[in-house]
Amino acid sequence: METMLAAVFKRPGEIVLERRPIPSIGPNDALLKVTTTTICGTDVHILRGEYPVASERIVGHEPVGVIAALGDAVSGYRVGQRVIAGAITPCGQCESCLDGHPSQCGGMAVGGWRLGNTIDGCQAQYVRVPFAMANLTSVPDALSDEQVLMCPDIMSTGFGGAERGEIKIGDTVAVIAQGPIGLCATAGARLKGASRIIAVDRIASRLDAAKLLGADEIIDASSADPVQAIMRLTSGRGVDVAIEALGAQETFEACLRVLKPGGTLSSLGVYAGKLAMPPDAFAAGLGDHRIVTTLCPGGKERMRRLLNVVASGRVNLGSLVTHRFRLDQIEQAYDLFANQRDGVLKVAITC
């Protein structure tokens, strides 16, 4: 049996590199030879046992690769084609998909997120992509793997937060937390036409990156109270849209407290434990506020649009890749990324 290298979740605290059989495919699938992938904050949650996946699951949900084989029912693609697939791989046929919520494919429990969650993922030399015709997008030759590596997840998610927040031209937007997703939300807010973007984080290098990606003002939450600072910057008016990009009570609540009446809280964080909504933070329910949430938009049309953005040069997310590893070094990559050492934002893993 032909084998490949793969990063496998064993138990909380343990993701290890192992040899596994190369996946076999069904009629609607594609087999990708993964050329480049990355590690997501969500993978760190899996590693720590904070998000449950089955033991022995191959992790990873951000593939750039080349088609190695196609199922009998797949048309419109060819072996050897360079492609990406989104982190979320909707079926394109179910009620959620056809109702405009493909990330929620299959109904309750974030069913659209399959790779590295409910089926084996792409931190491996090969990955089986389900529903290939709904999920594979050709990558233009002019774009490098690294240039498109953010499309499957963080760019789609971060931009999604700006889009779902329905930012209007001329809006004032706060983006609270500037990890990779928050940085992409900042870039997305700029693309959507916000005229004033206030970025909040505690890490200086992330605030620097936020400025490069379109933040007009930055607030270092390690030395200033972000709510007070934002209210001062907006002369007490508050912001039109507040984007939450961490998934914590403190940041969610800060977003609520800086919203203008009628403003929108666009939440990207993944919450664990209790999330409370103190009545005074949302005007006792009388503020005409809107709260929206986003799971990374997936599917081939989404990826096509994001590739267009990259190709246009309107946003350059290349600076987010701060460290590079080979797949056989992925345990080191996890160690660096999970512990946020050395100013790491995203790692590129070549397979």
In this complex, which beta carbon is closest to Zn ion, that of residue 159 or of residue 282? 159
Which x/- pattern, by CB under 5 A, does the window 129-168 give for Zn ion?
Answer: ------------------------x---------------
- Under rule CB under 5 A, residue 320 binds Zn ion: no
Q: Shortest distance, CB of residue 44 to Zn ion, whole angstroms? A: 10
As a whole number of angstroms, the distance between CA 283 and CA 157 comes to: 28
Handedness of CA 107, 109, 114, 119 (dihedral sign): negative
Residue matched to tokens 């937390």: 177
Q: Pattern of binders to Zn ion over 266-285, x per CB under 5 A? A: --------------------
In angstroms, rounded to a whole number, what is the distance separating the alpha carbons of residues 328 and 332? 9
Give the list of residues 6+ apart from residue 262 with CB closer than 8 angstroms, or none: 287, 288, 289
How far is it, in rounded angstroms, from Cα 154 to Cα 148? 11
**Is residue 90 involved in binding Zn ion (CB under 5 A)?**
yes
Sequence-ordered alpha helix ranges (H) in 33-83: 41-47
When binding is defined by CB under 5 A, the residue of 36, 37, 42, 103 that contacts Zn ion is: 42
Q: Is 227 in the site for Zn ion (CB under 5 A)?
A: no
CB-CB contact of 50 with 73 (8 Å): no
H helix or E strand, kind and range, residue 338: helix 330-338
Of the candidate spans 28-36, 66-74, 85-93, 326-334, the one that interacts with Zn ion by CB under 5 A turns out to be 85-93
Tell me how far, at minimum, the Cβ of 284 lies from Zn ion, in Å: 35
Part in contact with Zn ion (CB under 5 A); list of ranges 47-55, 105-113, 116-124, 308-316: 105-113
SS3 content of the chain, % helix, strand, coil (to 5): 30, 25, 40
Taking each continuous run of H as one helix and of E as one strand, the counts in the chain are 11, 16
| Residue from 58, 105, 148, 345 in contact with Zn ion (CB under 5 A) | 105
Scanning 37-45, 46-54, 173-181, 248-256 for contacts with Zn ion by CB under 5 A, the matching segment is: 37-45
**CB neighbourhood size of 37 (10 A):** 30
C-beta of 66 vs 94, nearer to Zn ion: 94
Part in contact with Zn ion (CB under 5 A); list of ranges 34-42, 172-180, 285-293, 333-341: 34-42
Task: Report the distance separating Cα 345 and Cα 208, nearest Å.
Answer: 12
Interface with Zn ion, residue 91, by CB under 5 A: yes
Residue closer to Zn ion (CB basis): 129 or 281: 129
Nearer to Zn ion, 102 or 165 (CB): 102
Q: In angstroms, what is the minimal distance from the CB of 105 to Zn ion?
A: 3
Nearer Cβ to Zn ion (23/298)? 298
40 lies in the binding site for Zn ion (CB under 5 A): yes
Q: Counting contacts by CB under 5 A, is residue 60 touching Zn ion? A: no
Query: Which residue is nearest to Zn ion, using beta carbons?
Result: 40
User: Can you read off the two tokens belonging to residue 263?
Assistant: 């403003």
Separation of alpha carbons 263 and 230, rounded Å? 14
**For residue 173, with 0-12 CB atoms within 10 Å meaning exposed, 13-18 middle and 19 or more buried, which class applies?**
buried
Q: What is the CA radius of gyration of the chain?
A: 20
Binding site for Zn ion (CB under 5 A): 40, 42, 90-91, 94, 97, 105, 153
